[in-house]
Structure 1
Amino acid sequence: MILTTGADVALAAVILGSISGTIITVVKVIAGRVTARDQARLAASPETDLRLQRLEQAIDAIAVEVERMSESQRFTAKVLAERLPPAGKSLPPSHTS
Structure 2
Amino acid sequence: MATLTGISNCTVTTCSFNADADCTAPAITVAGSPDHAECGTFISLDVRGGLPTATAHVGACQRVECTHNKDLLCSAESVKIGFGADTADCLTYSPA
TM-score (norm 1): 0.14
Q: Which one has the bigger helix percentage?
A: 1
User: More relative contact order in 1 or in 2 (CA 8 Å, sep 6+)?
Assistant: 2
